[in-house]
Amino acid sequence: MKVEVAYALPHEQKIIALQVEEGCTLREAVVRSGIVELFPEIDPDSTPMGVFGKAVKDPASTALKEGERVEIYRPLIADPKEVRARRAAKMKAEKAAQAAGEDKQS
């Protein structure tokens, strides 16, 4: 069956198509794809993986289906909740400053 293995960096991405037998796991597909030779930072035993955007808890025992794409995830640079909180605080401060400026003009 045909599956794909994908990995993306901010400046580069690679999708490798390969043929595997029924019962092939996510981890096995990653190893067979050779993507680890291209991106040595990938550790098939510990790097988080998923299929079409859904994380898989146990890539070493989860079998793939025809046409699925294994996605190899890299660590987040920043916590999304923290980024949203900072953005909201900044917007609140800008609105307060704008309101203070309008009060001075009145």
Annotate 9-61 with three-state secondary structure: CCCCEEEEEEECCCCCEHHHHHHHHCHHHHCCCCCCCCCCEEECCEEECCCCC
Higher-pLDDT residue of 17 and 11 is 17
- Whole-number pLDDT of residue 78: 66
pTM confidence score = 0.71
Task: Using DSSP, state whether 105 is helix, strand or coil.
Answer: helix
Calculate mean pLDDT across residues 94-99. Answer: 84
Calculate mean pLDDT across residues 42-64. Answer: 94
Q: How far apart are CA 32 and CA 42, in angstroms?
A: 13
